[in-house]
Amino acid sequence: MEEIKTKILEKIFQKKKSLENISIKSLFEANPHRFEDFSFEYNKVLFDFSKNIIDEESLNYLIEFAEKSNLVENINDMFLGKKINFTENRAVLHTALRNLSGEQIFVDGKDISKDIKVELNKALNFAENLRNGIHLGCTGKKIKNVVNIGIGGSHLGPDMVCTALNKYSGDITVHFVSNVDPFDIEQVLKIVDPENTVFLIASKTFTTQETMANANKAKRWFLDRMSEPDFVAFHFAALSTNVRACKDFGVSESNIFGFWDWVGGRYSVWSVIGLSIAISIGSANFMRFLKGGYDMDMHFRNQPLNQNIPVLMALLGFWYNEFWNAETYAVIPYDQNLLKFSEFLQQLDMESNGKRINRSGEVVKYNTGPILWGTIGTNSQHSFFQLIHQGTRFIPVDFLACVNTGSEDIEQHKILLSNFVAQTEALMLGKSEAEVQEELKSENFSNDEIELLKPHKVFPGNKPTNVIIYNELTPETLGMLIALYEHKVFVQGVLWEINSFDQWGVELGKILAKKILSELQIGKIDNKHDGSTKGIMKFLFDNFKS
C-alpha cells in the first residue's frame, strides 16, 4: 500500500509542476462551466472552490490518495466508536454528542447514547430553570449573570458560539473568563452581583491550574460578600468528570454535569461544556445547533469523496501544504458575528494536527498541520491583506460570508459583500504590468514616474481561495460550519498518518509551570535551570511588590 501511495504522490507532484505556470484565470477561460464543476451547495450553504490552482486531473489524484489512505474506513471507525485516538486508547465521539438518528453507539461494549441523553437533558433543564427564574440565587433573586470559567476547549468554543449567536440570547448575560492573569476575572467580578450570578467551572479533571485558580478566586469573592458556605451550592455549577472534587469545592451534586474521556477538549462544545450556550440561546436553539452538526456529519459520512465538502477542503489544504509549500492559511469571515471563529479554529486545527510523529512512532518527513490565522473582513483588508496580495509567502484563504444578517441596513451590508467578492477576485486576477502601465498613463503620470511606480503596483494574483456562503447565521448553520472544519482537520490527520486527537505538547509546559510556581512561592531558584530562566526568575523576585 505504501508503494502505491508513493506512486500517487509522485503523480500529484508532477501535476503540480505542470500547473505552476497556469493561472486560475486561464482555467476559467478554458472551462466556461468551471464554477458549476467546482462548487457544491448543501443545506443553503455554498462551497465554491473554483478559484483554486487545481484541475480535474489533480483533484482526481488527490482523491485517489485519500482512498489509498483508507479514509473511508477511518471515517467509519470514528463514527462507530473505535479507539482511533491510539496514544490514549480512546474513542473519538464528539459526533455521538449530536447524533439525532437514534443509532446505538458502543464504547467498550456499552451503548453510550442513553448516558448522553441523560446528561444533555440534565444540562438543558438547568439552563431553562435559570432562564425562567426557577433556579434562583441564595437570596431569592433571579439569575442575571453567568460566568463561564474554563480554558482551551472549555472556553474557546462556548465563547465563540455565544458571540456568534448573540441575536438569540435572552435576559441572562454570559461572561467568559479563561486567562490565569488575575486581571481577566477581576474585570468580570467588578460588574457582577453575587446575589444574581452563577459560576460555571468547566474542567474535565477539576484540576486544571488556570481554571481552578480562577474558580477559587471567584469562590473567595463570593464568600466575602455572602458569608455562608452553603450558599455556594446555589451559585456554582461544575462541568466535570471529577464528582468528588466538585463536591469538595461546594458544588451540589445536582449541579454537576458530566462528560466522557472520548470527548476531546477542542471538540467539547457539543457536550455539557456548551451549557453556557444553552443558557444564552435557550435549549431549543441549542438543539438546533446540535442538528446543524449532525447534518454535516451525515453529509461527511455518506457523500462520495468527490462530492464531500469537508474532504475537498482537506484535500485542497493537503495539496497546498505538501506541494506548494504553504506554511499558513487564513480564515476570513465577512460576518461580525464570527469575530471569534478564526481564534476557535486555531485550537481546533493546530492542536489537532501540530504533530511530528506518525502512527508508526516515526518522525515524519513532510509538513503536517499548517499555521491558521485570520480575523473578520473588512478589518483584515486594512491590516494584513497587503501581505497576502503582494508578499513573498503563498497563503491560501477561506472566505466566509452571510447573505442575510438580519440587519435592516441592507445597503451597508451590500458594501460588506462587495468587499468580500472583490477580494476573492482580486487575489485570483491580480494586476499585470501592462494593466498598471495603462492605468498610470491614463492618470497622466510621466514616463519616469511610471517606471518608478510600475513594479510596486503589480499584483501577481493567482492566490487561491475557498468561498463559503450561508443564507443566514442560525444555530443550525453555525453547527454545520464547526462540524465542517472538525471533519476537515480529521481528514488531514488521516492523510498525514498522525493522531489528531491527543495533545501531549500542551502537557510539558504545564509540568514545568508547577515546578516554577513552587519556586516563585518560596522565593528560591533551582540551580538546575538554565541561565536565562534563572535570570528571568531573579528579575521577577527583585521586582515583586511586597
Annotated catalytic residues are: 351, 382, 510
Q: Say if CB 398 and CB 332 are below 8 A apart.
A: yes
Q: Say if CB 478 and CB 161 are below 8 A apart.
A: yes
Cell of 305: 469523496
Of 425, 170, 158, the C-alpha closest to 268 is: 158
Exposed/middle/buried for 191, CB within 10 Å: 0-12, 13-18, 19+?
exposed
Q: What is the DSSP string of 486-528?
A: HHHHHHHHHHHT--TT--HHHHHHHHHHHHHHHHHHHT---TT
Q: Say if CB 291 and CB 139 are below 8 A apart.
A: no
How far apart, in whole angstroms, are the C-alpha atoms of residue 286 and residue 237? Answer: 19
| Cis amide leading into 197 (omega within 30) | no
Q: Say if CB 178 and CB 155 are below 8 A apart.
A: yes
Cell of 14: 508532477
Angular region, 403: left φ>0, alpha ψ -120 to 50, beta rest? alpha
Q: Say if CB 450 and CB 440 are below 8 A apart.
A: yes
Of 266, 271, 297, the C-alpha closest to 117 is: 271
> Is 211 in a helix, a strand, or coil?
helix
Chain-centroid distance of CA 339 in Å reads: 12
Chain-centroid distance of CA 65 in Å reads: 26
Q: Say if CB 323 and CB 13 are below 8 A apart.
A: yes
Q: Say if CB 78 and CB 490 are below 8 A apart.
A: yes
Of 289, 71, 282, the C-alpha closest to 171 is: 282
Of 357, 343, 371, the C-alpha closest to 152 is: 343
Of 21, 31, 24, the C-alpha closest to 53 is: 24
Q: Say if CB 160 and CB 344 are below 8 A apart.
A: yes
Which value, to the nearest 10 degrees, does the dihedral of the CA atoms of residues 105, 110, 111, 114 take? Answer: -140
